[in-house]
Structure 1
Amino acid sequence: MEAPIKSTELKKSCVNCGAEMKYQPGTENISCEYCGHQETIHLDESGFEELELYPYLREMGAQKHGEEISMLQCKNCGATQHIEENYKSLHCVYCSMPLVLEDQFKEEWILPGAVLPFQIDQNKSFQIFQKWVKGLWFAPNKLKKAALDPQFTKGLYLPYWTFDAQLRAKYSGQRGEYYYETKRVRNAQGKTVTKRVRKTRWYPASGQVSGFVDDTLVEASKQRKGRVPAKIARWNLDLLQPFNSSFLRGFVTEKYTIELEKGHLAAKDKAEDIARRWCRQDIGGDTQRISRMDMALSEETFKHILLPVYISSYRFSGKEYNFFVNGENGAISGTRPYSFWKIFFAVLGVLLVVGVIVLVSS
């Protein structure tokens, strides 16, 4: 008996022409790029479901929220990705190396609880990429030519964990309050001058803080290459929608490689930072010292969410470069090559100008 096809594997065909329907960024529609037919994505009105953390940590997802999906792993960079669209030519979104369809394998994952759909389409992301490349100094001509070809600009949903918890922390430390004294000192010229010196009076402090920590965001994938820069890894989580596989149509989805347990440890570190910030605010004064803090988390829940980014990859002189555009707000970042000859002739030009100025002025 064949295994049933899971919900994230289903392809939605156009009722008019039979072509594959794809998600239309910035909307709640899927559309057919051949005949233009559109259908509305019906969202779950019950909203997001927060999953209890510790049952999952004990059972590692062996519950109703787990399912099996087909995956492809890049043999060059190791990225593991699920292709929702039947691309004619399958390439890794990170390094552009070919993927072999016959290498597909089945793997369990914790079903996403929410997705932030793409808000800008591929054409807009490519325009942002082109503008960025045109503004680069000393970029090789081949890079600027590559910016004219959008074939390797792919939309990717990145996996993240989010954690919620009630936080309570007891602390002891000191509150510092500034005061100033005027002293007479000698300056560099040997003259006696008055100088205002800041000092601190310390007072003992202790207490307790508590509150709700909402949506602590922890990355769930870290590949050897192609990591998304922190400067663009900021999304408006208010735009999250209850998970629906229709939002994935036409895009690549990367499976998490940082397991839930490790993600939880990273979230606890972030919770400690939050607790220390709350303790300092509670201590007050001009400056604070925390000598001891005992933190406890309770009612912990989590979600597996997917966040949008566009990736373009480019190879130059045997090296690999990646360019990232945030699929929600259009922020861009990436690594870039430099043209040795452009830099050489620019430096030479500067030296020639300086030489001429020296000759004229002598």
Structure 2
Amino acid sequence: MAVTEANHWPCAQCGADLRYAAGQTELKCDHCGFVQAIPAKAPRQKAQALIEHPLAKGLSDDLPAAATEEVRSTSCPNCGAVVEFQGANHASQCPFCATPVVVDTGSHRRIKPQALVPFALTESQARTALKGWLGSLWFAPNSLLEFTRAGRTMDGVYAPFWTYDADTDSRYTGQRGEYYYVTETVNVTVNGKTERRQQQVRKTRWHAASGRVSRDFDDVLVMASSSLPARLGNDLTPWDLSQLQPYSADYLAGFQAEGYTVGLADGWGRAQAVMAGVIENDVRRDIGGDEQRVDQVDTDYSAETFKHILLPIWMAAYKYSGKSYRFMVNGQTGEVQGERPYSWWKISFAVLGAVVLGLGAAYLYDPSIFGASVPDWMD
């Protein structure tokens, strides 16, 4: 994961840092209360910013110079995150493990983000959502519950994603299964005796099937960060991409922004895997019948385009028994995902309690199991 350090905009009134006000279209100064509006983009500017790039040009490194930028970065020696640097700064810390890092001397060119979904949830709202999620976890360590009550701050990060569009045409071969029933005589055991009975048995008759299906895909979303678990990032859905705004550094004031570490080609491969799952469902519907077997699918892709966008995520990290656990809150909807620790003491006590309850219930049902005499009143 490549992460820029927090972006800073000085207040025109007092010189303190402005920050983007989540859910608003303005920057605010926490020191003096000064408010600065974010200039609205003209409809034409917005439309141009959201135009997809031809995928072939991106894969062949043939994009216009205006679509790329030069960045400086370094790898975190502890967790492997790639930290990007702005301006003349040369030192920072990794936002995911707090390890100090110093910028490398080299730089490289990257594809610029075209658009972003601004933060809609404030840190306080995100923390409330996280506390509710953590509080619902079974067998969580007490220290984790204390973590939720301590008012620990969360980091607001704009995470990188690719979106892919494509028109697909797929030819398939397979088999259609249709159920039918036959009457068979079978042996069954009733009260310890074997009896012969007749029953209906379902069978499947298979027929060869072939055909073609077409589907146009729009904005297939792929997380472009390799440092965060893909499951967590992918499960933060849904995202309302109709709220995408043309990229503006103003929305980054007071936040961090990741650079992508999943390249365009790898992201396209993951998008194709997502498309393949949808296409297989289309094929099964086209085959019909009661069951389907899909033997082969050959897909042609056309009109392939992509965008590089940033999506808002509130993040927190927690250490337990020497291991780090990460929590993520969708900064647009409040959906929570995370890694969770278990308290083995709580699990052990729960298991022990269940055993004790089980033994108690068994004793009440039949004390003789434990070699005890049965009281007269229970006889």
Q: Secondary structure at the match of 2:100?
A: coil
Q: CA deviation at 1:247?
A: 1.9
Return closer, same or farther for 1:56/1:196 CA change in 2, 3 Å cut-off.
same
Work out the CA distance in 1 between the residues paired with 2:225 and 2:20: 24
Q: CA deviation at 1:164?
A: 0.4
Letter in 1 for 2:126: S
Select which of 236, 242, 249 maps to 2:240: 236
Q: CA deviation at 1:188?
A: 3.2
Letter in 1 for 2:80: G
Work out the CA distance in 2 between the residues paired with 1:273 and 1:70: 38
Select which of 15, 18, 22 maps to 2:15: 18
The gaps in structure 2 that reach 5 residues or longer are: 373-379
Return closer, same or farther for 1:180/1:74 CA change in 2, 3 Å cut-off.
same
Q: Secondary structure at the match of 2:43?
A: coil
Deviations 1:113-132 (A, max 9, x none): 22122221111111222233
Letter in 2 for 1:28: T
Work out the CA distance in 2 between the residues paired with 1:223 and 1:178: 48
Work out the CA distance in 2 between the residues paired with 1:98 and 1:226: 23
Work out the CA distance in 1 between the residues paired with 2:151 and 2:84: 21
Contact 1:112 1:305 in 2 (8 A): yes
Q: CA deviation at 1:167?
A: 0.7
Work out the CA distance in 2 between the residues paired with 1:38 and 1:273: 46
Q: CA deviation at 1:345?
A: 4.5
Work out the CA distance in 1 between the residues paired with 2:7 and 2:319: 34
Select which of 75, 78, 103 maps to 2:77: 75
Contact 1:84 1:250 in 2 (8 A): no
Quote the residue 1:120 is aligned against.
121
Quote the residue 1:146 is aligned against.
147
Q: Secondary structure at the match of 1:43?
A: coil
Quote the residue 2:275 is aligned against.
271
Quote the residue 1:39 is aligned against.
37
Work out the CA distance in 1 between the residues paired with 2:86 and 2:153: 16
TM-score (norm 2): 0.81
Q: CA RMSD in A?
A: 3.3
Work out the CA distance in 2 between the residues paired with 1:352 and 1:273: 48
Letter in 2 for 1:33: D
Deviates more, 1:208-217 or 1:343-352: 343-352
Deviations 1:124-152 (A, max 9, x none): 11122223333334433332332234445
Quote the residue 2:224 is aligned against.
220
Work out the CA distance in 2 between the residues paired with 1:356 and 1:185: 43
Work out the CA distance in 2 between the residues paired with 1:16 and 1:52: 44
Work out the CA distance in 2 between the residues paired with 1:301 and 1:229: 22
Q: CA deviation at 1:52?
A: 0.5
Return closer, same or farther for 1:356/1:291 CA change in 2, 3 Å cut-off.
closer
Deviations 1:153-180 (A, max 9, x none): 1111211111101111122333222222
Select which of 253, 257, 262 maps to 1:253: 257
Contact 1:93 1:152 in 2 (8 A): no
The gaps in structure 1 that reach 5 residues or longer are: 1-7
Q: Write the mapping of 1:165-180 to structure 2, written as runs, cut at 5 A.
A: 165-180=166-181
Contact 1:183 1:197 in 2 (8 A): yes
TM-score (norm 1): 0.84
Quote the residue 1:335 is aligned against.
339
Quote the residue 1:157 is aligned against.
158
Compare CA radii of gyration and give the structure with the larger one.
2
Q: CA deviation at 1:310?
A: 1.4
Contact 1:173 1:292 in 2 (8 A): yes
Work out the CA distance in 2 between the residues paired with 1:304 and 1:273: 23
Q: Secondary structure at the match of 1:34?
A: coil
Aligned length: 353
Q: CA deviation at 1:12?
A: 3.6
Work out the CA distance in 2 between the residues paired with 1:340 and 1:172: 51
Deviations 1:6-44 (A, max 9, x none): xx9985433322333222222232222223314134235
Quote the residue 1:92 is aligned against.
94
Quote the residue 1:3 is aligned against.
none
Quote the residue 1:135 is aligned against.
136
> Percent identity over the alignment?
37
